[in-house]
Structure 1
Amino acid sequence: VANFLLNYALITGMFGLPKLGLMGIGLVTAVVANLMALALAWHIRRHPAYEAYPLRKGLSRLNRQYLKELWRLGLPIGGTYAVEVGLFAFAALCMGTMGSTQLGAHQIALQIVSVAFMVPAGISYAITMRIGQHYGAGQLLDARLAGRVGIAFGAAAMLCFAMVFWLLPNQLVGLFLDHNNPAFRDVINLAVSLLAVAAWFELFDGVQTIAMGCIRGLKDAKTTFLVGLGCYWLIGAPAAWWMAFHLNWGPTGVWWGLALGLACAAVSLTLGFEWKMKRMIRREPQAERFEAIQPQ
C-alpha cells in the first residue's frame, strides 16, 4: 500500500511532492524495501514466538559449517533464478528486435502472467517447508504425499487461471490499455493472442516451480539448477528463437518456445521428485512400515 501511494504521489506530484517520474518510482522502491527489512527485524525482536531462539547470539563467531551449508543450498537456488530470469530477458530481446508493438504486447501479457504466477510461487515455498519437516523427521511417505498434493493443487490453480486467460483476455488487457483508442489496437490484439499461449505457459510454469520446491525440501538444490539450465537454455531459448524467426511465427513463436522449455522442466522435475522419493523409501523400509501404521 505504501509503495503504491508513494509511487503515485511522486509520479504526479501529489501532496506538494516533486514530480520525479521514473526516478521517483526507484526512490520509493528503495525506501519501502529498507523500511520493510527494519519492520521485520523489529517484529522478530519483539514477538514472543521468537524468544526461544537466540537469534542475536553468536553473530561475532560465525559457524563455518552452517555458512557452508547455506552456500551449498543458496548458490544453486540463486543460479536457478538467474537462468530463469535470463530466459525471460532473452524473450524480451527477441521481442525488441521485432518492434515496439511486439515488445509492448509482450510486457503486458507477461505482467498478467506474473500476477497469476504468485500462486504457485507461494505454494512452492509452503511445500518446501512441509517436505523439509517430514524429511527431517524421517516421514518419507508423508513427504511424498505433501509433494504430490502440492503439485496437483498448483496444476489445478493454474488451470483456473488458464480458463480466465482464454475467456477474458480482452478484459485483462483492458486494465493496461484503452480499447477505444485506435492507437493501441495492434498492441491489444497481439497481447490477447499471447494470453492464449500463456494459458499453457502458466500451467507448465506453475508445475515446474512447485516441483522445484519439492526437491529443495529434500535439501537438493543442485538438481533443480541443472534441470533448469538444460530445459531453459538448451530447449526453451533455442526453440523460441527458431519458432519466432525461422518458422516466422513471430511473437507467439517466442512464447511457444518458452512454453516448451517450461513444459520440459515441469515433466523433468516432477519425475525427478518421484524418483528421489522412491529411492529414499526403498533405502528405509523400516521407516516406511512405521509410517504406514501411524494413526492419521
Structure 2
Amino acid sequence: MKKIYSLYKDHYRSNLNLAIPVVISQLGHTLVHLADSVIVGQFAGTIPLAAVSLVNSIFTVVMVIGIGISYGLTPLIAQENGRKNFRECGKLLSNSLLINTITSLLLFAIIYFGLLLSIDHLHQAPAVVKEAKPYLGLLGASIIPLMIFNTFKQFAEGLGFTKQSMIISIVGNVLNICLGIIFVKGMFGIEPMGVRGVGLSTLIDRVLMSLAMGFFILKSKYFKEYLKSFNIKRISQKRAGKILKIGGPVAMQYAFEVSAFSGAAILMGTIGVVEQAAHQIAINLAAMSYMMASGFSAAATIKTGTNLGKRDFSNMRLSANSSYHIVMLFMLITAFFFSIFRFYLPWIYTTDTAVISVAAQLLLLAAFFQLFDGAQVVGLGILRGLGDVNVPTLITFLAYWVVGLPVAFFLGLHTKFGANGIWFGLTLGLLVSAALLYIRYKRVMKRVTEEI
C-alpha cells in the first residue's frame, strides 16, 4: 500500500484538486431534483411525490442527452489547451454554443409536443398523471437555459477552471430551495402551487445560472486569449462534427443508463404508488453519489485529454489509474452510508411509513451497486478523454438494455421479488458495464501508449 501511495500520491492530489469543484457542480444537477422531491414529499404528500418520481424519470433521460452532447466540448478543449492552441479553443466554444442551443430547442419540442401527450398512456395512476403534467412542462422549458449554462461550464472545466461553476451551482441550489418552498406552500401572498411550484423554481434557477456562467466566461480576464477567435457567426462544419462525434455517443451512453433507471420507475408505477414513491427516494439518493462520481469522471476526462494533447503517456496512465482508486474509495464510503442510515434517510422525504419501509430495502441494494456504478462512470470518463466513445456506447447499451432492464422486468413483475427484483436487474446491468468498460480501458490505454 505504501508503494502504491508513493507512486500515485501526486496524481491523487492533482486529481482531487481538479475534481472536487466539479463534483460539487455536478451534484447541483441532482440537488435540484432532490430539493423538488423533499419539498413536495414534506409539504404536498405521497401522490405528488409519486408524480415527481414519474416526471424526473422521464425528464432525466432528456436532460442527460443534452448534457452528454455538451460534454463533447470538454476533451477537445483539454487536448487543444495541452497543445497551447488557444485560438482553436475559442472556435470550438462558438460551435458548441450553437449546437447546444439548437439541441435544447429540439429537446424542449420533444417534451412539450411528445412526452406531455404520451404520459397519459404509461398506465400510471390518474391522480399521479394529473399532478405530473404541469411539472413536466416547466422542467421542459428549463432545458434551454440548462444547456447554455453547460456550454460555458464545459468550456471552463476543459481549461481547468472548475471552482466558478461550483459556486454558481451552490448559489443556484439555495435559491431553488427557497423559491420551491415559497411556491409549493404559498407564502408571502402567493397561492400554493403544489408540484407546479417546484417546476417554476427550477426554471427560474436555471435561467439565472446560465446568465451568471455566461457573464463569467465572456467577461473574465482568464479567457481573453481564448475568446479572441470566439464568433458565433463563424460556424465550421468540421469543428461541429468533431464535437458531435464525441458528444453524440456520450449522450447515448448517459441515455442508455438513465433510461434503464427511468424504465424501472415506470415499472414501479405498475406495481403501486408506494413503490414508485419509494423508488424516487432511493434513486434520488443513489443519483447523488452517481453525480459526484461523475465529477471524478469529468476530471479524469480533462486530465486524460490534457496529457494526451501533451503526449505525456506515462502521467496519463498514472492519472487514469488514480482516478479509479479515488472513485472506488469514495463509493465504498457512500455504500457504508446508505447501509447504516437506510432506515433514516427516507424520513428526509416523507413521513409515510409504508414508503419508508420499501425505500430502506432499495437503499440496501443501492449500497451494493455503488462500486459498480463508480467504476463504470470513471471508465467512461477516461475513455472519453482518449477519444474512445463508440465502443463504450455499445457496452452501455448491452449492459442496461440487453441485460439490466430485461432482468429487472422479469424479476420485478413475474417473481415474488417485486420492487427489489427491479433493482436486482439494475445492479446486474451496472456490474456488466463496469467490467466491460475496465477491459476496454486497459486495451485502449495499452494501444495508445504503444504508439510512442
* TM-score when normalising by structure 2: 0.60
SS state of the match for residue 15, structure 1? coil
What residue number does 2:29 align with?
Answer: none
Percent of pairs identical after alignment?
A: 32
Structure 2 unaligned runs (5+)? 1-173
* Residue number among 162, 174, 199 corresponding to 2:367 in the alignment: 199
Q: Partner of 2:284 in structure 1?
A: 111
Deviation at 1:230, TM superposition (A): 0.9
1:133 paired residue number = 306
Instruction: Find the residue that maps to 1:152 and give its secondary structure.
Output: helix
Counterpart of 2:257, as a letter, is E
Question: CA shift at 1:71, angstroms?
Answer: 1.2
Letter in 1 for 2:208: L
Task: Provide the residue aligned with 2:251 in structure 1.
Answer: 78
Of 358, 361, 365, 1:190 maps to: 358
**Which one has the largest radius of gyration?**
1
Equivalent residue, structure 1, for 2:65 = none
Distance change (3 Å), C-alpha of 1:56 and 1:186: same
Instruction: Determine if the alignment matches structure 1 residue 275 to structure 2 residue 443.
Output: yes
CA shift digits 1:232-262 (9 cap, x unpaired): 1011011111222334211111111100001
Matches of 2:361 and 2:184, distance apart in 1: 31
Helix, strand or coil for the counterpart of 2:188?
helix
Q: Does 1:212 align with 2:380?
A: yes
Over 6 Å off, 4+ runs: none
Please give the alpha-carbon distance, in whole angstroms, between the structure 2 residues aligned to 1:55 and 1:230: 44
The partner residue of 2:260 within 69, 82, 87 is 87
**Using the alignment, how far apart are the partners of 2:413 and 2:427 within structure 1?**
17
What stretches of structure 1 of length at least 5 have no aligned partner?
Answer: 179-183, 285-296
Which residue does the alignment assign to 2:315? 142
Which residue of 332, 356, 360 corresponds with 1:159? 332
Matched AA of 1:168: F
**How far 1:22 sits from its partner (Å)?**
2.0
CA separation in 1, counterparts of 2:419 and 2:366? 12
Q: Whole-Å Cα distance in 2 between the matches of residues 10 and 194 of structure 1? A: 31
Q: 1:62 aligns with which of 198, 223, 235?
A: 235
Give 1:252's aligned amino acid. Answer: N
Are residue 248 (structure 1) and residue 428 (structure 2) matched? no
Amino acid at match of 2:246: L
In 1: Cα distance, 2:339 partner to 2:268 partner:
22
Once the two structures are TM-superposed, the CA of residue 99 in structure 1 deviates from its matched residue by: 1.1
For residues 183-219 of structure 1, what are the alpha-carbon distances to aligned partners after superposition, in whole Å with 9 as ceiling and x for unaligned? x333222111111111112221111111100100001
Following superposition, the deviation at residue 268 of structure 1 comes to: 0.8
Q: Which residue of 1 is the match for residue 225 of structure 2?
A: 52
Distance (Å, rounded) in 2 between the aligned partners of 1:173 and 1:26: 22
C-alpha offsets along residues 95-116 of structure 1, whole Å, 9 cap, x if unaligned? Answer: 1111112112111111111122
* Alignment CA distance shift 1:185-1:7 (3 Å): closer
The counterpart of 1:11, out of the listed 169, 184, 191, is 184
Task: Work out the CA distance in 2 between the residues paired with 1:39 and 1:88.
Answer: 32
Partner of 1:257: 425
Question: Which amino acid in 1 is paired with 2:420?
Answer: T
Deviates more, 1:242-251 or 1:70-79: 242-251
CA drift at 1:15: 2.2
1:83-106, Cα deviation, whole Å (9 max, x unpaired): 122101111121111111211211
The amino acid of 2:371's aligned partner reads L
For residues 188 and 58 of structure 1, do their structure 2 counterparts lie closer, same or farther at Cα, with a shift above 3 Å needed?
closer
Shift of 1:56: 6.5
More contact order relative to length (CA 8 Å, sep ≥ 6): 2
Picking from 389, 396, 402, the partner of 1:221 is 389
* Root mean square deviation of aligned Cα: 1.5
Displacement of 1:141 in angstroms is 2.2
Aligned counterpart for 2:211 among listed residues 8, 16, 38: 38
* 3-state DSSP of counterpart to 2:227: coil
Aligned mates of 1:246, 1:120 — CA distance in 2 = 33
Write the letter of the residue equivalent to 2:451: R
In structure 1, what is the Cα distance between the partners aligned to 2:443 and 2:204?
A: 45
Superposition deviation, residue 55 in structure 1: 5.5
Q: Paired residue for 1:97?
A: 270
Q: Distance in 1 between matches of 2:229 and 2:175?
A: 29
Q: TM-score of the superposition, structure 1-length normalised?
A: 0.90
Name the aligned partner's letter for residue 331 of structure 2: M
